Amino acid sequence: MQYRKFKPFGNISALSLGGGGLGQIWGETSREQVLETIEIALDQGINHLDVAPMYGHGEAESVVGEALRGKSTDGLYVTTKCQIGTRRGHKVYEKLNASLTDSLKLLGIERVSLFLMHSQLIEDDYELFKYNQFREKNATTLSCYFNEVIPAFERLKQEGKIGDWGIGGIGQKEALLTALDHECRPAAVQCIVNPLNSAGAISYVSENFDPKIILQKCQHKDIPILAIRAVQAGALTSSMDRQPHSSGFDAEDFEDYARAAPFRQLADQWGESPASLAHRYALSVSKVASVILGVKNTIELQECLQAERAGRLSADQMATIQSLFAT
């Protein structure tokens, strides 16, 4: 396993084990399979686990807590998150602290290495492209972020409950760029990195959201980057292993799967699985410290481990992949 510089931790494994698959967001699995997946990940040198209360309604944090029980956590880094929304005054700290307290209990640890805001940033007067009725719950306004969220994060850091804090690079472009240009910047940003340059179904704040703009800003500002959505919710794999949600919420992910047909053909020509190639793509993007995996079982994990061992793609290979979806 390769390790890369990552300011919040010092060094981080090129692959991080994410909680989406562990919490069964990406299809059903068994708890036994998840525990084995975590054990193999740790044995293979993965030193960062990325979870959130939203992943399986606490299941991801719970199963990680079970996996870590009785084990030394020296050299292991854990990230969790909180969907803050937009709140006023002391309610922000109370929400963050309560969520963190619950997470620490499930995880069985005393502090997390990184605590992320799990709601999307918007300007104060901005209306969401979709689901605007849930704006207060799902989105955080810039005034709330600057005046309430950052001080609350810093207080938790001073209290020793978190190592540092960060944000997700998803939301309204203008709001995100303002936050990344601010003097008090996040210690890390989770950026969408995939050949489709797509956030899929989670891009409900802005129509035609362009993840690359946020990635490039972080690269320019030297803000540590954790790559997410490497296979874009399964769109860059051989087949979608789940059915579309009855609400139509994830329709964009299935549309992306259809759009990714040329990528699957290219992977076949190169003698590689689409998922492996997509992970190698994300691992090859400049200044990406670690790629967060959405695997749910040992088979998917082993495929990612093999992709990491295969090494970075060449500049020509990266250009060929990017040309597939050039507009």
The answer to whether 40 touches 301, Cβ cutoff 8 Å, is yes
Task: Kindly tell me if the per-residue pLDDT of 134 is higher than 80.
Answer: no
Q: How far is CA 285 from the centre of its chain?
A: 15
Task: Specify the CATH number for the domain of residue 253.
Answer: 3.20.20.100
Mean pLDDT, residues 31-46 taken together:
97
Of the two residues 326 and 268, the one the predictor is more confident about is: 268
**What is the pLDDT at residue 26?**
75
pLDDT band at 102 (very low <50, low <70, confident <90, very high): very high
Give how far Cα 121 sits from Cα of 178, 191, 213, 292, Å. Answer: 10, 13, 15, 21
**What is the pLDDT at residue 28?**
81
Task: Kindly tell me if the per-residue pLDDT of 275 is higher than 90.
Answer: yes
Closest CA to 325 of 276, 270, 262: 262
Counting residues of the chain whose pLDDT is more than 70, the rounded percentage is 100
Task: Kindly tell me if the per-residue pLDDT of 131 is higher than 80.
Answer: no
The number of domains in the chain is 1
**What is the pLDDT at residue 135?**
83
- For residue 10, count CB atoms less than 10 angstroms from its CB and return exposed for 0-12, middle for 13-18, buried for 19 or more: exposed
Lowest mean pLDDT among 4-13, 94-103, 205-214, 307-316: 205-214
Mean pLDDT, residues 8-26 taken together:
92
Biggest CA–CA distance in the chain, Å, is 56
Query: Residue 88 has which token pair?
Result: 């006023």
Counting residues of the chain whose pLDDT is more than 90, the rounded percentage is 84
Looking at the chain, list the stretches that DSSP marks H as alpha helix, in order from N- to C-terminal side: 19-22, 31-43, 59-68, 90-107, 135-138, 142-144, 150-158, 173-181, 211-221, 251-259, 261-269, 274-284, 298-310, 315-324
Bridge partners, 77 (sequence order): 48
Could you report the per-residue pLDDT of 207-263, keeping only the tens digit for each? Answer: 889 999 999 999 999 999 999 999 999 999 999 988 888 888 889 999 999 999 999
Could you report the per-residue pLDDT of 179-214, keeping only the tens digit for each? Answer: 999 999 999 999 999 999 999 988 788 888 999 999
Task: Kindly tell me if the per-residue pLDDT of 289 is higher than 90.
Answer: yes
Strand 112-117 relative to strand 77-82, pairing: parallel
Mean model confidence pLDDT for the chain: 94
Task: Kindly tell me if the per-residue pLDDT of 68 is higher than 90.
Answer: yes
**What is the pLDDT at residue 309?**
98
**What is the pLDDT at residue 186?**
98
What is the value of pTM for the model shown?
A: 0.95
Give how far Cα 280 sits from Cα of 28, 135, 255, 276, Å. Answer: 25, 35, 23, 6
Could you report the per-residue pLDDT of 259-274, keeping only the tens digit for each? Answer: 999 999 999 999 999 9
Closest CA to 187 of 4, 26, 10: 10
Domain hosting 123: range is 3-324
Give the list of residues 6+ apart from residue 33 with CB closer than 8 angstroms, or none. 296, 297, 298
